[in-house]
Structure 1
Amino acid sequence: MRAVESYEGEDDCAPIEMLTALFEARGWPCESTRDELSGEIQGSWATYQVKGIWRAEDNVLQVLCLPDVRVAKEHRPAANELATLVNEQLWLGHFDIWSNGGVLLYRNGTLLADNGMLSLAQAQALIEIAVDECDRFYPAFQFVLWGGKSPRDALEAAMVDAAGEA
């Protein structure tokens, strides 16, 4: 595997190869096959499991970011309502709660050009956006699941940007 610096002069590369080079350059643990990458990234609130899944027949790269949050059945209505409210705030991707197991995740599908290649800038942006959105809304899901807040109150509390440093 080439170092990520060797991709900087190129326009694009196979999606999973580019993601793997990015993970390796950043020192993030990962494993990959031709069509899938699985790795971990330490976010502000948790260690996120990140997956890249390539569907060559559709030229679609799907990036999943899982904050290791399972939603118990009794909390799913409130968590689903919160996911809907959160998704209204997003430009790219969306949050889901898988019906099988109640796993919370961020998901973004990207349609690549006909050649099915991914640039380094695209790879970096897709991963950074996934982690940033998980970091941004992780507290809201915590407020609903463990703090007993309503979905709207949890979202409002999570959307407050702190000014300055403590």
Structure 2
Amino acid sequence: MMPGQSESERDDAAPVDMLASLFDARGWTYEFVSDDELLGEIQGSWAKYQLRAIWRADDNVLQLLCLPDIRVAEDKRAPLYEVMALINEQLWLGHFDLWSNGGVLVYRHGLMLGDDGLLSLDQAQTAVEAAVDECDRFYPAFQFILWGDKSPAEALASALVDAQGEA
């Protein structure tokens, strides 16, 4: 450790490298798409999520994309946009979006890192867990729209019912 460097500072690394270390430690599969991009898979409660991390050194921004493998048909987009708006009002970090090219649902979150452009293990873990947690939390609402023909308000209310105990 360098003089004047705190314990947490020595554990920081380039963002994509830190995420690779986290994925290694958790046993999650991943691959480097480029020096600035990582693609991995994480099993959530409802589905297997694709996680894509893209580092923009020019801005010191790490963008995390979590894709729950939900494609939205044209006739379901209006109610899905409505439920996304209701969901996004509740999120503190990140937001859900629908890519116009292909109708793919995505959770997006951008992390603005400091001038050094380094990411700590705690930051990496928190960002990834938040993305997976939000996808898990709202996955049922999207499914209620797509497969249950519920209204956006009904879908959100049904999805947010917390079960007590285990079956």
Give the TM-score normalised by structure 1.
0.93
Instruction: Indicate the residue corresponding to 2:83 in structure 1.
Output: 82
Q: Deviations over 1:34-67 (max 9, x none)?
A: 1000000000000000000000000000000000
Instruction: Indicate the residue corresponding to 1:140 in structure 2.
Output: 141
- Partner amino acid for 1:149? K
- Partner amino acid for 2:43? Q
Shift of 1:122: 0.1
Larger Rg over CA atoms? 2
Cα 1:19–1:108 shift into 2, 3 Å: same
Instruction: Indicate the residue corresponding to 2:67 in structure 1.
Output: 66
- Partner amino acid for 1:154? A
Instruction: Indicate the residue corresponding to 1:3 in structure 2.
Output: none
2: CA distance between counterparts of 1:95 and 1:163? 27
Instruction: Indicate the residue corresponding to 1:17 in structure 2.
Output: 17
Q: The residue matched to 2:107 in structure 1 has which SS?
A: strand
Instruction: Indicate the residue corresponding to 1:36 in structure 2.
Output: 37
Instruction: Indicate the residue corresponding to 1:154 in structure 2.
Output: 155
Q: The residue matched to 2:10 in structure 1 has which SS?
A: coil
Q: Structure 2 stretches of 5 or more lacking a match?
A: 1-6
1: CA distance between counterparts of 2:85 and 2:11? 36
Give percent identity, aligned residues only.
Answer: 66
RMSD: 1.4
Q: The residue matched to 1:51 in structure 2 has which SS?
A: strand
Shift of 1:165: 2.3
- Partner amino acid for 2:118? M
Cα 1:8–1:43 shift into 2, 3 Å: farther
Q: How many aligned positions are there?
A: 160
2: CA distance between counterparts of 1:9 and 1:62? 21
Instruction: Indicate the residue corresponding to 2:132 in structure 1.
Output: 131
